[in-house]
């Protein structure tokens, strides 16, 4: 533990004791949200990002430990595991260095060097490396025989053996690595004859730049083009001759008769073995870095989307717009239950606008609709204009809502479970309405990759992407908290300490026994034991329960402490919550004890100040420019409203209410240098933008924030 804690602490630049305590909690089954929220004294106040980084580093080191065990066993079976070699392997914590140590002992397929050794040419290779006087041909002649036909075959075999030795030389590999680290250039070229097919990659038909400066999106674009057979991508040192010369100096004795043979072997080792190996290594490393950056951006966008302000418990009409197939309309109650559904055909080619208006007004009145959520896809603008024109809509708030992923939900197993008797169109409209009421509760039901806020999400490591996005969803759910009596099974699954089985058990228990009156009654749920209760209780809310603390993030383990505070203040807990003056008069230092310090006490007081309040804020009304319906309606110089729909590391995309999204390049975000677009904008942020240019042929719109008053 201490060894790993020291390594992790150095890697993350954190105090060792904080890392040790965090690892101890993780090993004890604590979750990241629980540790970062309720164990601040132990971790020194590390946030969920730092705790997550510690967990990732710990998992990586344990993977490396398993790899070392495999390597040690393999070398030991060969009878070559000396005490010195064992020590080197056991103390090595760098994956590349570990593989270099292992390379000479790694079981190989039949190689040219191995074939030469079987012919007895290993001594000739040694003589060529050491000889200062005798000619190589004379040396090789001594090895011609039944296995070796002639001098040239003997020399070729000896060179193959030398080449393999050069390739397995750690110093040579590290020398070439340093060259790559300092000067590597990534380059791409179009495959001959693929110019027309790969037109979208034309920026990379003849492209090169230092690998250190190549951004994530450019590298991933090149790799995608390579995977599609459009591009050839290479990563090479800027000066290959220099790289080769540095390696050659370790083996070639200038002026020696055998120098030319050794130099040929070194050149072969470089071209055939070393360079491809190190190039593959740096290709993998650069791809890993690009993946990490793309995943970071995706996770950041997803977090902002999930934490978007909810409308709350309102009666909502959800509309999934369409032309030929009509607009599917659903009416939902305050809990999101489906009350009614219908289809209207106000647009081309049917044009039953009057009938559609009558139906909409009737549904609004009959189901006491308070807000309308309209999908922003096909026919979204036309439908929004129709709804806003209705007389009864004057007191009803209208919201354009992104419908990304609604079709995925409607066809999913979960969608079928929730609405087994409805078709996909009804489920899609319900999803649109519900995500207005509570984006987090609805969007967790959809694969994050389908929500439309990623960057090259299908090109990055899918395992890492899933882990990162699952962690993001988990952190968002636990940051907001979950209503124990209304949450779906899917939402409960992400609560700290639960998972699918316990989430289903909670829903089943709720169905059989009615709403929970207290957090403590969670202990009556089958298979929900003390550890699960500890991890989940603080993140579950009961808004009308027996104990007002159950509607806060105060953990049940601290209820007695709050009750003591109330007694000392001469009141009960409800009075303590109601009186800000009473809370301000409390001396928190008096209540510090083992495991409870000022960080926890401060959190408790903050929760008492806002019981039941949603940290996500309030949703703002928004409408697109009524002049815009297609890209043809845009003109340079126009200033129009929009909503940030996606953020990348080169800028952000803005929904203008038309099919085509506009791009604000990072250089157009502010009158200053912007390193990260997320410094300036956030997902679902409402902005006013100026149109810079419109390329109707390529479907591209360039926008700017500069000089536009927000």
Q: Is 494 helix (H, G, I), strand (E, B) or coil?
A: coil
Strand order in the sheet with 316-320: 338-344, 327-332, 316-320, 371-375, 397-401
Q: Is the pLDDT of residue 330 over 70?
A: yes
pLDDT at 121: 97
Q: What is the pLDDT of residues 470-512, one digit of tens each?
A: 999 999 999 999 999 999 999 999 999 999 999 999 999 999 9
User: CA-CA distance, 224 to 572, in Å (whole number)?
Assistant: 63
User: CA-CA distance, 695 to 168, in Å (whole number)?
Assistant: 54
User: CA-CA distance, 517 to 295, in Å (whole number)?
Assistant: 40
Find the length of the chain.
Answer: 710
pLDDT at 613: 83
pLDDT at 450: 86
Q: Return the sign of the alpha-carbon dihedral for residues 153, 156, 162, 164.
A: negative
pLDDT at 457: 84
Q: Is 552 exposed, middle or buried (0-12, 13-18, 19+ CB in 10 A)?
A: buried
Residues 6 or more apart from 134 whose CB is under 8 A from it? 127, 257, 258
State the angle between helix axes of 170-183 and 240-248 in degrees (0 to 180), rounded to the nearest 10. Answer: 160
User: CA-CA distance, 101 to 87, in Å (whole number)?
Assistant: 11
* pLDDT tier for residue 300 given thresholds of 50, 70 and 90: very high
List residues bridging with 257 in a β-sheet: none
Q: Is the pLDDT of residue 120 over 80?
A: yes
Contact in structure between 343 and 516 (CB atoms under 8 Å)? no
> What is the DSSP annotation of 415-454?
HHHH-TTS-HHHHHHHHHHHHHH-HHHHHTTS-GGGSS--
User: CA-CA distance, 665 to 215, in Å (whole number)?
Assistant: 14
User: What percent of the chain lies above the pLDDT cut of 70?
Assistant: 99
pLDDT at 621: 85
User: CA-CA distance, 428 to 436, in Å (whole number)?
Assistant: 13
User: CA-CA distance, 122 to 113, in Å (whole number)?
Assistant: 9
Residues 6 or more apart from 388 whose CB is under 8 A from it? 398, 623
pLDDT at 393: 67
**Mean pLDDT along residues 183-188:** 97
**Phi and psi for 49 in degrees, rounded to 5?**
-65, -45
Residues 6 or more apart from 304 whose CB is under 8 A from it? 682, 683, 684
Q: What are the structure tokens assigned to 39, written together?
A: 């164990």
Strand order in the sheet with 231-236: 206-210, 185-190, 231-236
Q: What does the buried/exposed string (b/e) look like for 77-102 if buried means 16 or more CB atoms within 10 Å of the residue's CB?
A: eeeebeeebeeebeebbeeebbbbbb
Question: Across all residues in the chain, what is the average pLDDT?
Answer: 94
Spell out the domains of the chain, with CATH numbers in brackets. Answer: 2-105 (1.10.10.650), 112-294 (1.10.3500.10), 316-437 (3.30.420.140), 476-609 (1.10.150.310), 631-704 (2.40.50.140)
Contact in structure between 58 and 4 (CB atoms under 8 Å)? yes
* pLDDT tier for residue 453 given thresholds of 50, 70 and 90: confident
User: CA-CA distance, 596 to 42, in Å (whole number)?
Assistant: 9
**Mean pLDDT along residues 83-93:** 95
User: Percentages helix, strand, coil for the chain, rounded to the nearest 5?
Assistant: 55, 10, 35
Q: What are the structure tokens assigned to 708, written together?
A: 């536009």
> What is the DSSP annotation of 102-115?
HGGGS-----HHHH
- Lowest mean pLDDT segment, chosen from 162-166, 393-397, 646-650: 393-397
Q: Bigger pLDDT: 1 or 310?
A: 310
User: CA-CA distance, 127 to 143, in Å (whole number)?
Assistant: 12
List residues bridging with 185 in a β-sheet: 210, 236
Q: What is the pLDDT of residues 613-671, one digit of tens each?
A: 888 988 988 889 989 989 999 999 999 999 999 999 899 999 999 989 999 999 999 99
Q: How many CB atoms lie within 10 A of CB 65?
A: 12
598 CB-side CA count, 13 A: 2
Q: Is the pLDDT of residue 592 over 70?
A: yes
| Local structure of residue 520 (DSSP, 8 states) | G
Among candidate residues 384, 422, 389, the one with its CA nearest the CA of residue 403:
384
**Mean pLDDT along residues 55-84:** 96
Beta strands in 229-322 (DSSP E): 231-236, 316-320
User: CA-CA distance, 379 to 482, in Å (whole number)?
Assistant: 35
Contact in structure between 381 and 657 (CB atoms under 8 Å)? yes
State the angle between helix axes of 95-102 and 83-90 in degrees (0 to 180), rounded to the nearest 10. Answer: 160
pLDDT at 570: 95
**Mean pLDDT along residues 589-608:** 93
pLDDT at 198: 93
Q: Is the pLDDT of residue 2 over 70?
A: no
Among candidate residues 401, 471, 472, the one with its CA nearest the CA of residue 437:
401
How many helical (H) and strand (E) elements, i.e. helices and strands, does the chain have?
30, 15
**Mean pLDDT along residues 128-144:** 91
Contact in structure between 678 and 300 (CB atoms under 8 Å)? yes
* pLDDT tier for residue 132 given thresholds of 50, 70 and 90: confident
- Lowest mean pLDDT segment, chosen from 144-158, 218-232, 383-397, 666-680: 383-397
* pLDDT tier for residue 455 given thresholds of 50, 70 and 90: confident
Q: What are the structure tokens assigned to 403, written together?
A: 């419908």
């Amino acid at each position: 533990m201490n060894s790993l804690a020291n390594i992790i602490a150095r890697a993350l630049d954190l105090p060792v004791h904080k890392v040790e305590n965090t690892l101890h909690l993780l090993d004890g089954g604590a979750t990241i949200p629980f540790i970062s929220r309720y164990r601040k004294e132990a971790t020194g106040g590390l946030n969920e990002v730092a705790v997550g980084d510690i967990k990732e580093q710990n998992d990586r080191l344990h993977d490396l430990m398993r790899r070392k065990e495999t390597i040690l066993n393999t070398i030991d079976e060969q009878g070559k595991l000396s005490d010195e070699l064992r020590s080197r392997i056991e103390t090595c914590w760098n994956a590349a260095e570990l593989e270099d140590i292992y390379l000479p002992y790694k079981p190989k397929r039949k190689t040219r060097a191995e074939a030469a050794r079987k012919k007895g040419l290993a001594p000739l290779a040694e003589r060529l490396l050491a000889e200062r006087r005798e000619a190589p041909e004379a040396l090789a002649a001594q090895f011609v025989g039944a296995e070796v036909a002639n001098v040239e075959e003997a020399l070729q075999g000896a060179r193959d053996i030398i080449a393999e030795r050069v390739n397995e030389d750690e110093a040579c590999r590290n020398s070439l690595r340093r060259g790559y680290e300092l000067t590597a250039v990534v380059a791409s070229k179009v495959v001959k004859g693929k110019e027309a097919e790969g037109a979208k990659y034309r920026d990379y038909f003849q492209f090169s730049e230092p690998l250190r400066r190549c951004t994530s999106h450019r590298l991933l674009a090149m790799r995608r083009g390579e995977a599609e057979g459009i591009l050839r991508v290479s990563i090479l040192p800027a000066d290959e001759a220099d790289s080769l010369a540095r390696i050659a100096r370790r083996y070639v004795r200038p002026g020696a008769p055998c120098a030319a043979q050794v130099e040929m072997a070194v050149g072969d080792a470089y071209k055939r073995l070393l360079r491809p190996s190190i190039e593959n290594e740096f290709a993998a490393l650069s791809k890993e870095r690009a993946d990490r950056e793309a995943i970071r951006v995706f996770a950041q966008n997803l977090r902002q989307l999930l934490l978007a302000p909810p409308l709350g418990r309102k009666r909502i009409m959800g509309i999934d717009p369409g032309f030929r197939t009509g607009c599917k309309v659903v009416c939902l109650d305050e809990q999101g239950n489906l009350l009614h559904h219908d289809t209207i055909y106000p647009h081309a080619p049917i044009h039953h606008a009057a009938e559609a208006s009558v139906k909409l007004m009737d549904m609004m009145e009959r189901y006491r609709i308070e807000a309308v959520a309209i999908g922003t896809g096909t026919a979204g603008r036309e439908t929004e204009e129709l709804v806003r024109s209705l007389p009864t809509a004057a007191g009803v708030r209208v919201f354009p809502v992104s419908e990304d992923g609604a079709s995925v939900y409607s066809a999913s197993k979960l969608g079928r479970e929730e609405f087994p008797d409805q078709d996909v169109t009804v489920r899609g409209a319900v999803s649109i309405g519900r995500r207005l009421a509570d984006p987090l509760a609805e969007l967790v039901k959809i694969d994050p990759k389908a929500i439309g806020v990623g960057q090259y999400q299908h090109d990055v490591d899918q395992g890492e992407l899933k882990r990162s996005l699952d962690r993001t969803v988990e952190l968002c759910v636990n940051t907001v908290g979950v209503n124990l009596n209304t949450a779906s099974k899917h939402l409960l699954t992400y609560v700290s300490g639960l998972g699918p089985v316990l989430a289903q058990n909670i829903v089943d228990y709720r169905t059989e026994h009615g709403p929970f009156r207290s957090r403590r009654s969670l202990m009556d749920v089958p298979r929900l034991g003390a550890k699960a209760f500890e991890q989940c209780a603080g993140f579950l809310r009961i808004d009308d329960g027996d104990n007002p603390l159950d509607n806060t993030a105060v953990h049940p383990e601290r209820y007695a402490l709050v009750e003591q505070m109330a007694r000392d203040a001469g009141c009960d807990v409800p009075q303590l919550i109601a009186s800000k003056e009473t809370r301000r008069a409390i001396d928190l230092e008096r209540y510090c004890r083992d495991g409870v310090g000022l960080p926890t006490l401060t959190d408790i007081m903050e929760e008492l100040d806002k019981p039941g309040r949603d940290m996500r804020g309030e949703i703002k009304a928004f409408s697109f420019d009524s002049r815009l319906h297609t890209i043809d309606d845009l003109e340079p110089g126009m200033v129009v409203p929009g909503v940030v729909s996606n953020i990348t590391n080169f800028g952000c995309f803005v929904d203008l209410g038309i099919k085509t999204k506009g791009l604000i390049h990072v250089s157009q975000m502010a009158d200053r240098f912007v390193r990260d677009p997320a410094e300036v904008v956030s997902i679902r942020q409402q902005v006013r933008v100026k149109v810079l240019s419109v390329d109707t042929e390529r479907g591209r719109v360039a926008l700017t924030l500069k000089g536009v008053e927000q």
